[in-house]
Amino acid sequence: MSPAASWRSVIVATLVAGALMQAATALVWMNPLTTRLILTPEFGQSQKLINVWRLWEPLPRITQQPSVPMIAGFFLFTLLHVLVYLRLAPVFPGRGWVGKGLSLALGIWVFQYGYFEFFTPFNQYREPLPLIAYELGLQGIMAAVEGLAIARVLR
């Protein structure tokens, strides 16, 4: 941790960015359009993915409300992103918090969401590429919200 960052600022950045990222996640994933695109066969979604999310027990933990283990896990990932930001912010492109926050977001998007989409929906569920592209767009929004919030709080 850099000398300028205190544990208090790490905790605040984690809580603010984590809460905003989870709010963005709920807005972009739980709306009727996304649910229709992703969880029906109408747009070519694989029946395997639909079954995992809607039929096969046990359903994913994230479908439980509230999903305490998933919420805690998302905050843990945000904490790790805060720590990465503290370490790498000096070498991120951009002079201000916006450029550095978007640099962090790009890293999150490529290394977290990109890998996930390739390994799970593309590989395991054989999800169609247009749906993967749509999901990567949603995850780009999530990564931008989180990266910008972290950079803003820690500027």
Structure tokens at 92: 């991120």
Q: Determine which helix (DSSP H) or strand (DSSP E) holds 41, and give its type and residue range.
A: none
Residue ranges per structural domain of the chain:
7-153
- Enter the pTM of the model: 0.91
Per-residue pLDDT of the chain (155 residues; tens, 9 = 90+): 455 569 999 999 999 999 999 999 999 999 999 999 999 999 999 999 999 999 999 999 988 888 899 999 999 999 999 999 999 999 999 889 999 999 999 999 999 999 999 999 999 999 999 999 999 999 999 999 999 999 999 99
| Local structure of 59: helix, strand or coil | coil
Residue 58: cis peptide before it, omega within 30 degrees of 0? yes
DSSP string for 6-70: -HHHHHHHHHHHHHHHHHHHHHHHSSHHHHHHHSSGGGT--HHHHHHHHTSSSPPGGGSSS-HHH
